[in-house]
């Protein structure tokens, strides 16, 4: 519903369309309330079980970036030794048997990813595995809703790259600018790069759009400027990924956990600022939100160039009324503005959002100068932070464990 409204330009017609959706939105909100009550009742009868819907809490890069450097094994140099051992010998790449091989140089069955997808059988058992050999693939790819349980792996996130340049300035809605769109449930990407090269002046330009439920992205690179990663909806898990961008470069309304990822701030236009996240929860009963755990924020060299005008950098802003973002056990540098967050528009969502931090480190982790919004909880207790671990927030063991993905279900410390 919100995506549909976003497709219309600002103006009287958009306002009328938005008004026409109000009844539907109210119906959805009422349905969520009913499901929430039913879930609570069942929980009381059966004890602890998966919480389908949750109410609001009471207490509420550039090439020079060292995090993009690859070791000889094709795994980023910054990946911890434990994860490296798993990636090299625990069921990835060398132990994957591809159904098809895509190779731009002609050494595979197909030269493009789209050719491989077009040849997929309508029915198959288990996971359908596509190996994308090293190369830059200039094509727009969609893993459709009918393509469930697809695994796509490459030779490394800076070696197997899908690239495009569609953008808002050239007349497309944000949703339609994506270079790569994952819709089919259970999608998994390993060692792949997703890129949108439109640049800061072209405004919204999505590199990766994800609508896949129970999707996993491991050791991937999402490279762009504004709106790089559209974590649109459903449950998503990101591990050891690098995401680069400027304005709202991780946005959407998914229930997404980013674990051990690097968010690299790039240089926007001189009259702009950087905002890492823009979560879009539209109803307080939605079990969605962004959790950044043991992540690192850094900057490409151009952003900190003393010869260029200074740029202000923020952790996030509320795209929708009940925006929810929790940053925990992460490294926040001094380049992040002391306020931490910036408003979307005036007082919008400042009372209804849920922003919180827990056990962060670094010169930018001091919350003394943070915003004084009613919805910002500053540093929450460990008990409250526990609600946002992978285990509790995504209930992900049944679908992450079978993939062999390195994951920390609780806290790192």
Q: What are 278-305's pLDDT values in tens digits?
A: 999 999 999 999 999 999 999 999 999 9
The CA-atom distances, in angstroms, between 137 and each of 142, 143, 261, 333 are: 14, 15, 24, 34
Looking at the 3D structure of the chain, how many domains does it have? Answer: 2
317 and 172 in a common domain: yes
The SS3 of residue 298 is: strand
Instruction: Point out the domain boundary residue: 53, 71, 92.
Output: 53
Q: Which are the contacts of 370, defined by CB distance < 8 A and separation ≥ 6?
A: 338, 339, 340, 341, 376, 378
Confidence of residue 23 (pLDDT cuts 50, 70, 90): low
How many Cβ atoms are within 10 Å of 308's Cβ, its own excluded?
Answer: 11
Confidence of residue 81 (pLDDT cuts 50, 70, 90): low
Question: Is the pLDDT score of 56 beyond 60?
Answer: no
Residue 412 within any structural domain of the chain:
no
pLDDT, tens digit, 9 for 90 and up, residues 148-193: 999 999 999 999 999 999 999 999 999 999 999 999 999 999 999 9
Residue 270 within any structural domain of the chain:
yes
Q: Spell out a b/e string for 392-403, using b for 16 or more CB atoms within 10 Å of the CB, else e.
A: bbbbbeebbeeb
The CA-atom distances, in angstroms, between 277 and each of 11, 91, 244, 281, 318 are: 26, 32, 11, 12, 8
Residue 106 within any structural domain of the chain:
yes
Confidence of residue 96 (pLDDT cuts 50, 70, 90): confident
> In this structure, are residues 52 and 35 in contact, taking their beta carbons and an 8 Å threshold?
yes
61 and 47 in a common domain: no
13 and 144 in a common domain: no
**Per-residue DSSP letter, 380:** P
Residue 411 within any structural domain of the chain:
no
> In this structure, are residues 196 and 206 in contact, taking their beta carbons and an 8 Å threshold?
yes
Beta strand spans in 155-279 (E) = 160-164, 180-182, 188-190, 193-196, 208-210, 215-218, 221-223, 229-231, 235-239, 242-245, 247-252, 255-259, 262-265, 274-279
Instruction: Point out the domain boundary residue: 31, 53, 75.
Output: 53
**Given this model, what pLDDT does residue 95 score?**
73
**Given this model, what pLDDT does residue 26 score?**
59
Residue 408 within any structural domain of the chain:
no
Longest CA pairwise span in the chain (Å): 64
336 and 198 in a common domain: yes
**Given this model, what pLDDT does residue 40 score?**
46
> Which phi and psi (to 5°) does residue 4 adopt?
-60, -45
pLDDT, tens digit, 9 for 90 and up, residues 320-372: 999 999 999 999 999 999 999 999 999 999 999 999 999 999 999 999 999 99
| pLDDT: which is higher, 195 or 22 | 195
**Given this model, what pLDDT does residue 291 score?**
99
**Given this model, what pLDDT does residue 356 score?**
99
Range of the domain at 32: 1-53
242 and 144 in a common domain: yes
66 and 9 in a common domain: no
Residue 105 within any structural domain of the chain:
yes
Question: Is the pLDDT score of 47 beyond 50?
Answer: no
233 and 274 in a common domain: yes
| pLDDT: which is higher, 370 or 94 | 370
> In this structure, are residues 4 and 282 in contact, taking their beta carbons and an 8 Å threshold?
no
User: Which CATH number fits the domain that encloses residue 210?
Assistant: 2.160.20.10
Catalytic annotation, pick one of 185, 227, 248, 337:
248
270 is catalytic: no
93 and 40 in a common domain: no
**Per-residue DSSP letter, 225:** S
258 and 387 in a common domain: yes
Provide the mean pLDDT of the chain. 87
What is the distance, to the nearest Å, from the Cα of residue 379 to the centroid of all Cα atoms in its chain?
Answer: 23
180 and 91 in a common domain: yes
pLDDT, tens digit, 9 for 90 and up, residues 217-264: 999 999 999 999 999 999 999 999 999 999 999 999 999 999 999 999
The CA-atom distances, in angstroms, between 218 and each of 84, 183, 379 are: 12, 17, 29
Q: Tell me which residue of 283, 279, 247 sits closest to 263, measured CA to CA.
A: 247
What is the distance, to the nearest Å, from the Cα of residue 213 to the centroid of all Cα atoms in its chain?
Answer: 13
> In this structure, are residues 152 and 181 in contact, taking their beta carbons and an 8 Å threshold?
no
Q: Which are the contacts of 41, defined by CB distance < 8 A and separation ≥ 6?
A: none
132 and 74 in a common domain: yes
147 and 96 in a common domain: yes
Residue 41 within any structural domain of the chain:
yes
């Amino acid at each position: 519903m919100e995506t549909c409204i976003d497709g219309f330009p600002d103006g009287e017609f958009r306002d009328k369309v938005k008004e026409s959706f109000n009844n539907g939105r109210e119906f959805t909100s009422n349905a969520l309330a009913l499901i929430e009550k039913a879930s609570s009742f069942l929980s009381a009868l059966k004890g602890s079980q998966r919480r389908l819907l949750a109410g609001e809490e009471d207490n509420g890069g550039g090439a020079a970036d060292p995090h993009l450097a690859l070791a000889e094994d094709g795994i980023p140099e910054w990946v911890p030794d434990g994860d490296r051992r798993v990636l090299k010998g625990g069921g990835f790449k060398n132990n994957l048997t591809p159904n098809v091989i895509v190779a731009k140089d002609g050494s595979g069955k197909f030269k493009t990813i789209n050719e491989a997808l077009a040849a997929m059988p309508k029915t198959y058992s288990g996971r359908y595995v596509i190996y994308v050999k090293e190369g830059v693939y200039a094509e727009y790819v969609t893993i459709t809703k009918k393509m469930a349980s697809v695994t796509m792996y490459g030779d490394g996130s800076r070696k197997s790259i899908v690239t495009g340049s569609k953008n808002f300035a050239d007349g497309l809605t944000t949703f339609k600018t994506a270079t790569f769109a994952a819709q089919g449930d259970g999608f998994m990407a390993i060692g792949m790069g997703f890129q949108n090269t439109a640049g800061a002046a072209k405004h919204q330009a999505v590199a990766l759009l994800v609508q896949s439920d129970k999707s996993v992205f491991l050791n991937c690179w999402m490279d762009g400027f504004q709106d790089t990663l559209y974590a649109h909806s459903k449950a998503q898990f990101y591990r050891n990924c690098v995401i680069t961008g400027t304005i709202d470069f991780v946005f959407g309304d998914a229930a997404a956990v980013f674990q051990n990822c690097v968010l690299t701030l790039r240089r926007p236009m001189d009259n702009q600022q950087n905002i890492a996240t823009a979560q879009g929860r539209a109803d307080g009963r939605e079990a969605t939100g962004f959790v950044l755990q043991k992540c690192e924020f850094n900057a490409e060299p151009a952003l900190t160039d003393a010869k260029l005008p200074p740029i202000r950098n923020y952790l996030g802003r509320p795209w929708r009324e009940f925006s929810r973002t929790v940053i925990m056990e992460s490294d926040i540098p001094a380049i992040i503005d002391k306020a931490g967050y910036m408003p979307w528009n005036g007082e919008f969502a400042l009372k209804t959002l849920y922003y919180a931090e827990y056990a962060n480190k670094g010169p930018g982790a001091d919350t003394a100068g943070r915003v004084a919004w009613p919805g910002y909880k500053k540093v929450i207790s460990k008990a409250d932070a526990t609600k946002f671990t992978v285990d509790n927030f995504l209930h992900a063991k049944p679908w992450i464990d079978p993939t062999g993905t390195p994951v920390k279900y609780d806290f790192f410390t």
